[in-house]
Structure 1
Amino acid sequence: MIRAYRIVEGRNEPLDGVPSAEALRQSCWIDLNTPSTADRQLVEQTFGIELPTREEMREIELSSRLYREAGGAFMTATVLCRADAPVPETMDITFVLTGDTLITLRFDDPKPFYGFHNQVTKQSVKLENGVSTFISLLDAILDRIADVLEGAGRDVTAVARELLIEEHQGHLNSDEQHRLLKRIARAHDLTAKARESLVTLTRIIAFTGTVRELINDKALRARLKTLSQDAQSLADYTAFLSSNIAFQLDALLGVVGIEQNNIVKIFSVAAVVFLPPTLVASIYGMNFHFMPELDWPYGYPLAIALMVISVIVPFLYFKRRGWL
């Protein structure tokens, strides 16, 4: 699908249907979302470029993601998407700056693009040219990552609060432990994908700054510098968040380990407490012929009394030492 916009009398005018080659040349932004073969060929023939395939977009080499070719600057970023889903995902988006036109190639619909299209349609964001549109779109992507990281930070803080409250109110049962572990794992996965996205966006911003003929406006260079600072601050925050998540995971595993140790301690004490009566019962259960206690009229009550005393004495000793 092709969604394109051009500027008509200071307003963003969307191009309906399948735009012509002439209309595409006048556009400042062309968005290709899961394009068909015909859509790709139309854009490639109009601008004389070759768009990367989906497999080429997934390559991680820097030279495959940032390069200049046939009068266009090609930049591929890994962008966080479906952050609200149980399992967050990432997608690869290619930005192509050619002349005064920005071409974006993607195979999903992340929230930054969805929201940016709405802003452009409602005229709350004015498109001027391809470079300014590119910078505004990067700004929207960074804003979305910031919102996602803020949510992950709040979730990690909530997990820490639950661990502290449970420490005073009682033990965590297995269901609560499983639930907290899943929340920590999701926060870690979300933070890792956000950090991966920030790394690629930082590279794109740095690459764009080196293309002087693209960023020849002082105001645009200032906006690009601000984006670079924002990306760096978000990267620093992801590092802090990752360390906090690791600490909460260690704390949760520590709580689980303490509870397991308490259970093992109970079994150990029970084994030690019941060992002496087992010894008494074993001795008088041997039934040797020459055992004087077998002929005692009070031999059985005496054996029972020895068993009870052998249980009470270790129990009181452990209780006095604070082991119970």
Structure 2
Amino acid sequence: MITYYALHDGLLESHEAESLSVIPDGVLWIDLLRPSVEEERFVESALGVNIPTREEMGEIEDSSRFYEDNGTLYLTPTVISGISSGKPASEEVFFVIGQDRLVTVRYAEMTAMRGLLAKAARQPERHRTADAIFASLVDAFVDRIADTLEDMQNQLTRLSARIFNEPGGEEEKADLQRVIKHLGRHNALLSMFSESMLTFGRLISFTRLGKKSWLAEPARAGIKAVERDLRVLTGYQARMSNEISFLLDVTLGLINIEQNSIIKVFSIAAVIFLPPTLVGTVYGMNFKDMPELDWVYGYPLALGLMVLSAALSMALFRFKGWL
């Protein structure tokens, strides 16, 4: 699907392409969402640019993701989609940014791009050129990362409260296995964001350090502001990663303590019942010459020895502070 974005009465508006015959005049941004082969060829022929396949967009080397050709920038950062649905996945967005027109190619719906028109309505003066729209899109993607990291931090705070909470009364004990799963999902998502922020850092460095005379000062200033935000988010992400590692270690430690407590109970029970078992075993032997077998008080004596040996074992454990 091809969507055109152009100015109308000073505001950025969108409409879907009705045909693949010609690109309307005044279009500043062309967005290709899951484009077909025919749509890719149409845009390539109309603009004289190269639209990569989805496999080519996934290449990891910088020379394939960030390059310039005939004054046109080709940039491919990694973004995270599907966060709202609980199924996050890494996706690439391909930017073709020239002096008069911006082209984006993507294969997933992205919240940051859906909200651009509303952002343009609030700040129309910052969305009147292709390079300004490009800077706004990059800013929107980084803002989305920041919002998600803040939400993750709130969830980590709640998980921390569950882990360190002292159960008592009607309060239930934290399900530590479920906590580990939550921490694992947070760590996986954090790794995705680390990769995304790395690619956006490369994109910004490539854009700012290159000699692009047509990249206007407002767009450069916007890109520079995003660069500062990325530095802050990188430190924030590193701190969250350390916190996740700490909470995971604590959770595993608590699980080990619980398991040790259970083993301790069984060990104490085995030791307490060992002396009575020994007494019962001795008097369970059927030798001919056992005087107690014919003694009327032999049975009560054996039972008393069993109870006394168990009680002495319990008293020893309490004296040692093991119970």
The alignment's TM-score, normalised by the length of structure 1, stands at 0.92
The whole-number CA distance in structure 1 between the counterparts of 2:317 and 2:169 is 26
Distance 1:133 1:91 in 2: 20
Q: Using the TM superposition, give the Cα deviation of residue 17 of structure 1 relative to its aligned residue in structure 2, in angstroms.
A: 3.1
Does the 8 Å contact 1:3/1:30 carry over to 2?
A: yes
Are residue 107 (structure 1) and residue 104 (structure 2) matched? no
Q: What is the CA-CA distance between 1:4 and the residue it aligns to?
A: 1.2
Distance in 2 (alpha carbons) for counterparts of 1:185 and 1:215? 45
Distance 2:214 2:288 in 1: 106
Deviation, structure 1 residue 178: 3.0
Q: Root-mean-square deviation (CA), in Å? A: 2.2
* 1:286 corresponds to 2:285: yes
Query: In structure 2, what is the Cα distance between the partners aligned to 1:129 and 1:214?
Result: 14
Contact 2:139 2:223 in 1 (8 A): no
Give the aligned partner of residue 313 of structure 1.
312
Matches within 5 A, 1:106-255: 106-120=106-120, 122=121, 124-126=123-125, 127-166=127-166, 176-213=175-212, 216-255=215-254
> CA separation in 1, counterparts of 2:39 and 2:117?
19
**Partner residue, 1:51:** 51
Instruction: Name structure 1 gaps, 5 residues minimum.
Output: none
Q: Do the aligned partners of residues 13 and 151 (structure 1) sit closer, same or farther apart at CA in structure 2, a change above 3 Å counting?
A: closer
Distance 1:270 1:322 in 2: 15
Structure 1: distance between partners of 2:16 and 2:256: 62
Q: Which whole-Å CA distance do the structure 1 matches of 2:15 and 2:84 have between them?
A: 31
CA 1:261–1:172: 2 relative to 1, 3 Å: farther
8 Å Cα contact 2:33-2:108 kept in structure 1 = yes
Asked if structure 1 preserves the Cα contact closer than 8 Å seen for 2:78 and 2:91, the reply is yes
Cα pair distance change 1:220/1:313, threshold 3 Å: same
Distance (Å, rounded) in 2 between the aligned partners of 1:27 and 1:286: 101
Identity %: 38
Partner of 2:68: 68
Alignment check: 8 A CA contact 1:79 1:90 kept: yes
SS for the counterpart of 1:31 is strand
Opposite residue 81 of structure 2, the aligned amino acid is: C
- When the two structures are aligned, how many residues end up with a matched partner? 322
More deviation, 48-57/213-222: 213-222
Distance 1:20 1:53 in 2: 19
Which residue of structure 1 aligns with residue 41 of structure 2? 41
**1:22 Cα offset (Å):** 5.4
Report how far residue 8 of structure 1 moved: 4.3
Contact between 1:66 and 1:207, CA under 8 Å: does it hold in 2? yes
Kindly state the Cα deviation for residue 305 of structure 1 after the two structures are TM-superposed: 0.5
Give the corresponding residue for 2:26: 26
One-letter amino acid of the counterpart of residue 103, structure 1: V
What corresponds to 1:257 in structure 2? 256
Change (3 A) 1:227 1:209: same
Residues 124/216 of structure 1: CA separation in 2 closer, same or farther (3 Å cut): closer
Q: Does 1:298 align with 2:297?
A: yes
- 1:10-43 deviation digits (Å, cap 9, x = unpaired): 2324344336665456321111111122211111
The Cα of 1:250 is off from its aligned counterpart by: 1.1
- Aligned AA (2:293): L
**Mapped partners of 2:59, 2:48: distance in 1:** 23
CA–CA separation in structure 2 for the residues paired with 1:210 and 1:312:
82
Write the letter of the residue equivalent to 1:239. A
